[in-house]
Structure 1
Amino acid sequence: MANIMVLDDVLDAGILLKRILERMGHEVSAFSEEEEALDYVQRTEVHLAILDIKLKKMTGVEVLEELKKRSPATRVIMLTGYPTLETARESVRHGADEYCVKPIGKEEIETKVAEVLAKD
């Protein structure tokens, strides 16, 4: 299965995603700090990153841009509770594979993760 990183400014939200994805058989690391998450990506092969758009110091799009510099092969799903056409376009332009709106259900996140990981 895949090594997945979750970055959300609300740690409980990241832990909830971690539990769902671990039940699918994935290894998951949850972060609430942007720099910790980016350092992790630099040190570890991450197959999929799930990034919240609203973070503490940076935007999710800024993290996406930096993550792709450090690990171009990492797939990315963006999550947001505040969807806008602008952030969707920016996310895709910087290499995001999916853009999902919170709240996201268990089945939807499981499906999106499976679809993104299955892409060649």
Structure 2
Amino acid sequence: MANIIALDDVLDAANLVKRILERKGHTVTPFTEEEEAILFVEKNKVDLAILDIKLKKISGVEVLEEMKKKSPSIRVIMLTGYPTIETARECLKLGAGEYCVKPIDKDELEDKVKEILKKS
């Protein structure tokens, strides 16, 4: 299965993603710090990053941009509790494959992860 990271400024949210996806056989590493997540992607093979848009120091959009520089093939799903068309467009333009709205729906997340991992 896939090696996935989950980055959210709230550890419980990152751990929720971890619990949902580990039941499907994936390995999920949760993060609350942007720099740690970016460094992890730089040093490890990560298939998918699930990034919250609102983070502590920089936005998830900026993290997406950095991760794509370090690992162009990484697939990304953005999470947000504050969806806007502009943010969705920007994320997709920068290489995010999907967009999920919080609160996280278990079935929606599982489906989107399954779909994005099928794409090469």
Structure 2 length-normalised TM: 0.98
Which residue of the partner structure matches residue 104 of structure 1?
Answer: 104
Distance 2:81 2:3 in 1: 25
2:59 corresponds to which residue?
A: 59
CA–CA distance in structure 2, aligned partners of residues 17 and 66 of structure 1: 22
**Cα distance in structure 2, aligned partners of 1:66 and 1:87:** 17
Q: Which amino acid aligns with 1:104?
A: I
The structural deviation recorded for 1:100 is 1.2
Alpha-carbon distance in structure 2 between the residues aligned to 1:114 and 1:24: 10
Q: Give the total of aligned pairs.
A: 120
SS at match of 1:20: helix
Q: Any unmatched runs of 5+ in structure 2?
A: none
Q: Tell me what 2:70 maps to.
A: 70
Q: Distance in 2 between matches of 1:13 and 1:92?
A: 22
TM-superposed CA distance for 1:104, in Å, is: 2.0
Match of residue 45 from structure 2: 45
Query: C-alpha deviations, 1:59-118, integer Å up to 9, x for none?
Result: 010000000000000000000000011110110110000011111211111000000001
Q: Percent identity?
A: 68
Is 2:28 aligned against 1:28?
yes
- TM-score (structure 1 length as normaliser): 0.98
Alpha carbon RMSD of aligned pairs, Å? 0.5
| Aligned equivalents of 1:34, 1:63: Cα separation in 2 | 7
Moved segments of 4+, more than 4 Å: none
Distance 2:99 2:106 in 1: 16
The corresponding residue for 1:81 is 81
